[in-house]
Amino acid sequence: MSFFNLTFMGYGNRFKSLKRLESTSTESDSTELRKVPTGEQKTALEKQLARELAGDMQSREWTPSAVSNLNYHTLRTMHVRGDKDPNQNTRRPMTAAQEIGWWTKDEPLKTKEPWTQEKRHVHAQSEMTKFVDDMLIMKIIIFGANGAVGSECVRQSIEDTNIEHVTTITRRPLDKNIISDKHTNVSHTDFLDYTPLLNLFENHQACIWALGTSQNTVNETEYIKITHDYTLAAAKSIANVNPAMRFIFISGMGADPMEQSRFLFGRIKGKTENDLVKESGLKEIYT
C-alpha cells in the first residue's frame, strides 16, 4: 500500500475543519471543496493552513492519494523552531545535507524570514546508540538456568552473535550439558549472600533473573524467600558494584503491582517488582 494512501491516519487530523460537501451536480462532485467555519479555539496557523489547502484543492481531483499527499506536503514544510517542537515531522538528520532548513529562534509567521542554514544537533551519543553499542560487547549473567525459562534464555543468548559471553549461576550442575566457548557456569549456594560473585557483577552488563519456584511446591514462607528475598538480595549486591547493570526480572502474568491478589503468586511477584524499583538501587529494571 502506498504511504500517501493512508488518508487521515495522522496527516489528515489537522484538517478536520475541511469537509467535502456533497453536491447535487455529478460533474462537480469530485472537485468541490468548501471551508467549514472554524471555532474560536482554532489557532491562526491552523486557519491559514486550512485556507491554503482549500484554495489549492479547487483544481485537484478529490482522491485519497491527492488529499493525503497535499496534507503531507503542507505539514512537512511547516515552520518549526526547534527539535523539541511538537509539530516537527521530520527525522533527526543523519547526514550533513539533512542538517539544513531550521528556523531561527524568532517566530517565522510573524517575521516572515527566509529559511536559514542553522545546523541541527545530531544525537550520535543517544541512549539508544549507547544501548546498541553495549549490546555488541555484552556479557550477561543468568540465574535459574536449570528452569524452563532460564534454560531457554541460555540457549538463545549463546546463539546471539551480539552477546559476547554468558555466565550461569546455579545451585547444582546444569541439567543440560552446554558446550560453548561463550558459556561459563558458576556454582553458588547462598542466594542471600553474593559476596563471592561481586567481581562477576562488575564485569557484566546485564542480568536475567529466572530463578524461582511454584507456589504449589513449597510453603508460603519458603516461597516468599525464594521469590522476593533472593531477588532483592541479588539486585542490591549488583547495585553496590555495578548500578548501571540492566536487571531483567522474569515475573509472570498475574503479578499484581497493587499487592492485593488473592493468589500468593500474584501478591509476591507484584511486591518483588515494586521493591526492585524502590529499594534495589539499580538504574535499569525490566519485568
- Please give the average pLDDT of every successive group of 10 residues along the chain, which has 287 residues: 40 40 41 44 60 53 44 45 45 47 46 48 56 70 94 92 92 85 94 95 94 93 96 97 94 90 93 94 91
Q: What is the pLDDT of residue 55?
A: 56
Same domain, residue pair 179 and 51? no
Report pLDDT for 196: 95
Specify the pLDDT at position 129. Answer: 61
Q: How high is the pLDDT of residue 161?
A: 83
Set of cell numbers at residue 86: 511538537
Whether residue 193 is contained in a domain is answered as yes
Q: What is the pLDDT of residue 182?
A: 93
Same domain, 233 and 138: yes
- What is the chain's alpha carbon radius of gyration, rounded to the nearest angstrom? 29
Residue 151 falls within a domain, yes or no?
yes
pLDDT value of position 74: 47
In a domain, 83, yes or no: no
Q: Are 267 and 260 in contact (CB under 8 A)?
A: yes
| Phi and psi at residue 91, to the nearest 5° | -75, 165
Are β-strands 138-143 and 34-35 bridged in parallel, bridged antiparallel, or unpaired?
Answer: unpaired
Q: What is the pLDDT of residue 16?
A: 40
Residues 24 and 108 in one domain: no
Please indicate, yes or no, whether residues 57 and 149 belong to a single structural domain of this protein: no
Q: What is the pLDDT of residue 177?
A: 79
pLDDT at 135: 56
Question: How many angstroms separate the Cα of 217 from the Cα of each of 158, 220, 221, 226?
Answer: 31, 10, 12, 12
Strand pairing of 284-286 and 246-249?
Answer: parallel
Whether residues 185 and 230 share a domain: the answer is yes
Is residue 179 domain-shared with residue 256, that is, in the same domain? yes
Q: What is the structure's pLDDT at 269?
A: 95
Q: Is the pTM of this model over 0.95?
A: no
**Distance between CA atoms of 235 and 237, rounded to whole angstroms?**
5
**What pLDDT, on the 0 to 100 scale, is given for residue 52?**
60
Looking at the domain assignment, is residue 7 inside a domain?
yes
Q: Both 58 and 28 in a single domain?
A: yes
219 and 160 in a single domain? The answer is yes
Backbone angles phi, psi at 277, to 5 degrees: -70, -40
- Please report the pLDDT score of residue 190 as a whole number: 95
What is the pairing mode between strands 206-209 and 246-249?
parallel
Can you give the CATH number for the domain in which 188 is found? 3.40.50.720
pLDDT at 40: 52
Residue 267 and residue 135 in one domain: yes
Question: Does an H or E element contain 70, and which?
Answer: helix 64-76
Residues 150 and 132 in one domain: yes
How many domains is the chain built from? Answer: 3
Angle made by CA atoms 240, 231, 185, in degrees to the nearest 5: 85
C-alpha cell at 151: 534454560
Domain residues for the domain of 215 are: 127-286
pLDDT of residue 33: 42
